[in-house]
Amino acid sequence: MPSDRSDSLVASRRQGAAAIPILVRIGIVVVLLLAVSLSVPYFASVDNAMGLLAQASIVAVAALGLTLVITTGGIDLSVGGVISLSGLVDVILIGAHVPWGVAILIGMLLGGVIGAVNGALVAFLRVPAFVATFGTLGIAAGLALFIANGRRTTVLPDSMIEFGNGTVLQLPYLVIVAVAVLIVLEVALRVTPWSMRLRATGDNFRVAVLVGVPTRPILIGAYVASGALASLAGGMLTAQLSTAGPQQGEPYTLSAIAACVVGGVDLMGGRGRLWASCLGAIFLAGLGNVMNLEGVQPFIQDLATGVLIVVAVLLSTRGREWVARFGESFRKAGLR
């Protein structure tokens, strides 16, 4: 059966895929955060930790959708534009007396439509994902600027502001939303063939087609999920900041990609763990938080994020080879 053949396809994943074990990544993150907490006292405070997690949750939600896309071998550069556009749409709907929860759901529908356009361009017209999503980024960003031009900021309901900044048992509501999204996606990937088909599509697209994997629906579904989750992240950001702006989501494209890379998602496709991307988002939020506490200039923070992405990619693609070479050299030295 096609599903059995796709299972064997993924089972024979290239040997270098798991360059740095996920438990090693977790250990590195934990050690770094502990070291930082000792050198930056306020970093370990409960208030700062909860604020850090709330900020990370917005990036994590966007990164979860992006993880699905990257697993198929694609990329979604429209995330930032969708976040900005959906935030403005949410504000407009709230100004028209639409309940804010419904407004966020409508925004997610809009994001899903943009994702469907991305998916159709990639799956049916075979437009490279980079080009397709860069184009829709421009469209979304342009629409956001058009909508925001001369428009007054709507006063958001207190309940929405509470959603973006409140806590329950000291745990931010935004973190609860991110965890709920993660659980839903993890369950969906584990109880359906979706996960295997995503990885098969990203591992080797032509072979996946030959063995009967429905690659077009898989691609479109991944981009729809990415667009919808980017819109949800836009609603969360609007609630947290109590406002929306046409360029509010710009930094989140790089942040979401960085979270995926730090979490070990293979940019060549075929491999990625959702919860590891969330871990990457927490690490990046912690790094940014430390730099803010230490008064590091914003452009230096962007530079550090870029360097981190490059290092993470190198470790992901060449880590096993480097470890093998080091082990071989160590063994040879021991024999002398």
Torsion angle of the four alpha carbons 70, 74, 77, 82, in this order, in degrees rounded to the nearest 10: -80
Strands (E), the chain: 167-168, 171-172
- Is 219 inside any structural domain? yes
SS3 168: strand
18 — pLDDT class (breaks 50, 70, 90): very low
Q: Of the candidates 233, 264, 231, which has an alpha carbon nearest to the alpha carbon of residue 106?
A: 231
3 state DSSP class of 266: coil
Range of the domain at 241: 40-298
72-129: pLDDT as tens digits: 999 999 999 999 999 999 999 999 999 999 999 999 999 999 999 999 999 999 999 9
What is the model's pLDDT at position 328?
Answer: 66
- Residue 48: inside a domain: yes
Report the alpha-carbon distance of residue 271 to residue 211 in Å, rounded: 19
How are the residues of the chain apportioned to helix, strand and coil, as percentages rounded to the nearest 5? 75, 0, 20
Average pLDDT across the chain, whole number: 85
How many structural domains are present in the chain? 1
264 DSSP assignment: T
CB–CB of 22/276 below 8 Å?
yes
pLDDT mean over 11-29: 54
| The residue type at 78 | S
Residue 156 is assigned to a structural domain of this protein:
yes
- Range from 113-127, 200-214, 289-303, 308-322 that averages highest in pLDDT: 113-127
Q: What is the pLDDT of residue 150?
A: 57
pLDDT at 13: 45
Q: What CATH number does residue 197 fall under?
A: 1.10.3470
Look at residue 250 and tell me if it is in a domain.
Answer: yes
| pLDDT band (50, 70, 90) for residue 336 | low
- Residue 75 vs residue 45, higher pLDDT: 75
pLDDT for the residue numbered 151: 62
Sign of CA dihedral 124, 125, 131, 132: negative
